Amino acid sequence: MPELPDVEVFRRYINEHALKQKISDVTVNNTGILKNTSVSNMKKALKGKVFSRTSRRGKYCFLETNGEDTVVLHFGMTGNIKYHENGTPLDDHERVRFHFENGNILSFVNVRLLGEVRLIKDKDSFVTSKQIGSDALQLSYNQFRQLLQRRSSMVKSMLMNQNLLSGIGNVYADEILYQSRIHPKKNVKDLTESQVKKLYTMMKKVTETAIKKNVDAGKFPHSYITHRREEGEKCPSCGGTLEKIKVSGRPTYFCPKCQEE
């Protein structure tokens, strides 16, 4: 499932390939993906415009135009972005295609149709209405500490609470907790000051490392567990067996020796 690092990689890819090109058309092969807008609205708002800049908050990617509208992409459980040179045939899972005057196409790919494409006028009011928490990569240490104050929930659930802190999902939450040597079920109120500091440092480090490695888990450091999410895999630090449990209904991998409860 695309999390902050994945969406950041998509955003940079869009920047690299699809900015400042005049949009000639928008085609949609499954309107279920459109939220609060229609194909004709999309065409009306985007034809003749260009994507001028992009931004991201948590798992949401914003494509601002030189007009009044901003396209918002959310990838759901599976999703991808593809920039095609002219003439590439449509793949069934390309739900929305932005066609450019130069003949190239930017595609929003979404297999399970759990993603969303929207058109908004104002990013700030969208963020407020959706209660999207502070972006995990942009948060300062003091802001992070304040978020944790007076909270009483399992630390993994807190990391994944998108209204509090946006961008971290199931897989990266496990990696951040493993790197911090904190048990995923530990209550936030029982974290020591040094554990909170470690958690913040690792949240930044893990997300930045994943972005730098183009979210290719095979290229992550040997000391990571993201590419070891399978029964019987060993902890790269102590050699013990990683355990799989459920936290808030989500499959969770951790090392019972390195991350004591």
Q: How many CB atoms lie within 10 A of CB 74?
A: 20
List the Cα angle 258/135/133 in 5-degree steps: 100
Secondary structure of residue 202 in the 3-state scheme = helix
Shortest distance in whole angstroms from residue 242 CB to Zn ion: 8
CA gap 41, 257 in Å, rounded: 55
Shortest distance in whole angstroms from residue 189 CB to Zn ion: 25
Q: Which is nearer to Zn ion, 22 or 228 (CB)?
A: 228
Shortest distance in whole angstroms from residue 200 CB to Zn ion: 22
255 lies in the binding site for Zn ion (CB under 5 A) = yes
177 lies in the binding site for Zn ion (CB under 5 A) = no
257 lies in the binding site for Zn ion (CB under 5 A) = yes
Region 136-155 residues binding Zn ion, contact defined as CB under 5 A = none
Q: Is 215 left (phi over 0), alpha (psi -120 to 50) or beta?
A: left
Q: Which is nearer to Zn ion, 89 or 232 (CB)?
A: 232
228 lies in the binding site for Zn ion (CB under 5 A) = no
Q: How far is CA 3 from each of CA 76, 83, 126, 127, rounded to the nearest angstrom?
A: 9, 20, 19, 17
237 lies in the binding site for Zn ion (CB under 5 A) = yes
Interface with Zn ion by CB under 5 A: which range of 76-84, 112-120, 129-137, 236-244?
A: 236-244
Name the residue number minimizing CB distance to Zn ion: 235
Helices marked H in the chain: 4-17, 39-46, 123-129, 141-148, 155-160, 170-180, 193-212
**Sheet of 80-84, strands arranged across:** 23-28, 94-100, 105-109, 80-84
Shortest distance in whole angstroms from residue 254 CB to Zn ion: 9
CA gap 117, 71 in Å, rounded: 7
Task: State the number of binding residues for Zn ion (CB under 5 A).
Answer: 7
Secondary structure of residue 53 in the 3-state scheme = strand
Q: Which of 20, 238, 251, 260 binds Zn ion (CB under 5 A)?
A: 238
241 lies in the binding site for Zn ion (CB under 5 A) = no
242 lies in the binding site for Zn ion (CB under 5 A) = no
Interface with Zn ion by CB under 5 A: which range of 24-32, 122-130, 163-171, 249-257?
A: 249-257
Q: Which helix (H) or strand (E) holds 47?
A: none
Q: Which is nearer to Zn ion, 150 or 222 (CB)?
A: 222
117 lies in the binding site for Zn ion (CB under 5 A) = no
Residues of this chain that bind Zn ion (CB under 5 A) = 235, 237-238, 240, 255, 257-258
